[in-house]
Amino acid sequence: MKIAFTGKGGSGKSTLAALFVQHLRAVGHRVLAVDADVNVHLAPLLGVAAHAGDALSHPENARRVRTHLLGDNPRIAGVEHFVATTPPGPGSRLITLDAGDPVLAGHATALDERTHVMHVGTYEPENIGAGCYHGHLAILENLLSHLDPADDGWVVCDMVAGTDAFANSLHAQFDVIVVVAEPTPESVSVARRYRELATAAGVADAVAVVGNKVADRMDLDYLERELGVSPIAVLGMQAGLRRARQAGSPPRPEDLDDASPLTRIAERAAVRSLPPEHREALMRTLHLRLAAKGWVRAAHGDVTAQLGPVPV
């Protein structure tokens, strides 16, 4: 199960992602938490220090991960021909959420034997004026597309704020995308735009809105009126959580006035909104679109052959 948390910056998406990870841990699931926000908030919220050398997007780490995923796949000429949308093929190695998986063992911090944390990375001084964070996210796209579909664990990603997921294939990778919305015009505008783009991209059914910092019925009415949809879960102002955070404690479900919204998010995520064949078709379209870019052809050659036959 793959779930993403996004929304306007400051909406509480990172905190909610951390709470959801702790909820999944508490009920016994295997979990991989991935901090994919350029601000790197989720990892520290889970008690993990995010060092630059450990980032998935660090060139050496990204190459190691791709070399492992490549395996003996004859459709890929070499690890340097991996692009963000490169799909698994015959001979590829898939990632499982078991502690012994080489990718988790080499590039994740274990909170316990069933819970691991990774971070994609952020801008470093050498990136100034010479890079885009979308390039950092390519290794996350590879990781998500090479997850073993038979694995019953959970991947929880804290994404970049706003609608950046539509600049790459990430919007097509998740079973559910939770858009966290506060009852403010700015937060609602981001959530509304996200839903519009999801509809255009063919993933509207994967998007679910969660209301956060909702003080009263007027706040909830505002969200429903402005978004044209009822949130699947609503969290109030959460004074207990705020006090815990002010004291420097990591967010825990027991800090919430009512932790049932976490259960409702899990129930919504368990309803896979994108059938496998629909996701595969989307990813195929996105790969061909990327393969046609001049800079991709110049840097990686013709990568269209990385796709298998069109499913009948």
| Tens digits of residue pLDDT in 77-104 | 999 999 999 999 999 999 999 999 999 9
* pTM tops 0.75: yes
Query: What ranges do the domains of the chain cover?
Result: 2-303
**Domain 2-303: what homologous superfamily?**
P-loop containing nucleotide triphosphate hydrolases (3.40.50.300)
- What DSSP designation does 164 have? G
Alpha-carbon distance of 127 to 272, in angstroms, equals: 37
The structure tokens listed for 223 are: 């969200």
* Percentage of the residues of the chain whose pLDDT score is greater than 90: 83
**Which residue, 280, 234, 281, is CA-closest to 261?**
234
Q: Residue 266 — very low, low, confident or very high, per pLDDT cuts 50/70/90?
A: very high
Is the per-residue pLDDT at 56 higher than 60?
Answer: yes
Asked if residues 65 and 107 have their Cβ atoms less than 8 Å apart, the reply is yes
Asked if residues 26 and 253 have their Cβ atoms less than 8 Å apart, the reply is yes
Q: Residue 126 — very low, low, confident or very high, per pLDDT cuts 50/70/90?
A: low
